Amino acid sequence: MDCDKIEGAEIAEKYVGGGLSEVEAADFELHFLSCQRCFERVQLLQDMQAVLERWPGRSGRWVGILAIAACLLLAAGVTWLRLRPASEPAAARATPGARPTLNLTALAVVSPPRYLQPRWRAAGPTSFDVAMLRYSNGDFAGATPGLLVAAKGDPGNSAAGFFLGICYLMQNRDDEAIAQLKATIALGDSPELEETHFYLAKALLRKQDVPGAIAELRHAVAVHGPRQLEERNLLESIVREARPAK
Amino acid sequence: MPRAKLSFPPMQDANGEESAGLAERIFAGDRNAEAELADLYGPRVFAILCARTQDREASRDLLHDALIGILKALRQGELRDAEKLPAFVAAVARNIAHTHLRGRTRARLSQPIEEAQLASPSHGVAFEAAEREAQVRQALLQLDKTDREILLRILADGQKLAAIARSLGMSQEAVRQRKSRALKKVTEIVKGM
């Protein structure tokens, strides 16, 4: 059996879903330890599984009610968009909560910024270092308490403030993320300033605060940092999405 | 009905020689080789742990234990045949997962390896998983709603094709085709990111 046949027999799907016998699973594991193609298939399926398990409205009896509420909100938003004055600029017209669209949801997807651990430190690890080890491990909830301690212990520590905001964002604690990122921006110029504006824009997009997101992206672009192109593209996409339907 | 026995091709062992070399270098005390081993096998061990435990969060912690266990054994020369490194890696991952499932207290493998040095091997793996999830989420948003629903029922709810076909009023073959198409589309979108 070659990799095409493995794919045809949906072995990877069965493996991810726990549908193989112990012997079959062990054999397949030994195979994908050396086969990049089959491993990538397994990895993608597992990533999808992880995302779909947390998919909004996945199950439960409230799903129907929430779906109806979402439809009503969407309909209200669309009606409002169609009835508003035509001379007003599109972006300025977009008010928080007015137009929750699928595409804006996609634009609000957040990928956490990487943190590079310093290779060497003269002193022992601080609470920030320990928290960032957890952060680097994808454990955003575990990193939060340590970052809180670091941020409170040194209110001027923009890195602690910034990554604390990111941790909130990754836990879908959007209001806390917004407050934290705004507080970090209020510290003034810092190495994290550009990214703080960028992620604040993402957080505001999640709250469907389109004008707020646009304003933050403009601040981010003005820093002329390494994310500039990404910020410009996102800004254009948001403005395009916020444009009224013809 | 008796199940047809599955067989998989022998390892092409693109990594075979490399694996043997790695095991030997780790035994000789080469710290760079340890980082290479974590890069090479970390993501695969994570996949095994996720599949075996069906618990991605727990797998993040278990990955750390698995990599420590593998490195500790290699440092101490416990792997007699260096060419069997992939099989050894898989066995350690399975054991860690089974121990977790049996609810035993996890034995922390701390000595003689310093935690600080071994805190790093699993970092990138879980972090990259979080990054990939963000991409996959974006790709899933671009799918047709019914296609996404089919994937959700198969991958997240573990439903069979027949049950999905019944509840969606489709033939089983139609569900299978939509699923394959959707998987292909997600793969293409993610690869294009």
How many whole angstroms separate alpha carbon A71 and alpha carbon B60? Answer: 37
- The per-residue pLDDT of chain A, averaged, comes to 78
Q: Note the pLDDT of residue A59.
A: 54
Residue B173's pLDDT band, with cuts at 50, 70 and 90, is very high
Q: For residue range B112-164, list pLDDT tens digits in order.
A: 444 444 445 556 777 788 888 888 988 999 999 999 999 999 998 888 889 99
Compute the nearest-CA separation of A85 from chain B (Å): 31
Q: Which of A10, A14, A23, A34 to mutate to test the interface with B (most CBs of B within 10 A)?
A: A34
Predicted confidence (pLDDT) at residue A201 exceeds the cutoff of 80:
yes
Highest mean pLDDT among A8-17, A113-122, A219-228: A8-17
Q: Does the distance separating the beta carbons of A30 and B41 come in below 8 Å? A: no
Residues 61-100 of A with CB under 8 A from B: none
- Higher pLDDT residue, B12 or B87? B87
Interface test with B, best of A4, A14, A29, A205 (most B CBs within 10 A): A29
CB within 8 Å: A136 and B152: no
Chain A residues with beta carbon closer than 8 angstroms to that of B133: 47, 50-51
Per-residue pLDDT tens digits for A71-121: 555 655 555 555 444 433 343 334 444 444 446 777 788 888 887 766 555
Q: What is the pLDDT of residue A124?
A: 66
Token pair 């912690």 is found at: B61
Cβ-defined contacts of B58-65 (< 8 Å, 24+): B58/B100, B60/A137, B60/A138, B60/A139, B60/B122, B60/B126, B61/B106, B62/B96, B62/B97, B62/B100, B62/B106, B63/B122, B63/B125, B63/B126, B64/A137, B64/B118, B64/B119, B64/B121, B64/B122, B65/B96, B65/B106, B65/B108, B65/B109
Interface check B142 vs A, CB under 8 A: yes
Q: How far is A103 from chain B (nearest CA, A)?
A: 8
The pLDDT tens digits for A26-42 are 999 999 998 999 999 99
* Average pLDDT score over residue span A143-166: 91
pLDDT at B13 over 60: no
Greater confidence, B54 or B1? B54
Average confidence (pLDDT) over A134-156 = 88
Cβ atoms within 10 A of the Cβ of B151, count? 23
Average pLDDT (A193-199) is 91
**Of the candidates A35, A34, A28, A31, the residue with the CA atom closest to the CA atom of residue A13:** A28
Q: What is the mean pLDDT of chain B?
A: 81
User: Does B17 have pLDDT greater than 50?
Assistant: yes
Q: What is the mean pLDDT of residues A230-239?
A: 84
- Output the pLDDT for position A58: 64
Q: Which residues of A touch B41 (CB under 8 A)?
A: 33
Interface of A with B in 127-146 (CB under 8 A): 133, 136-139
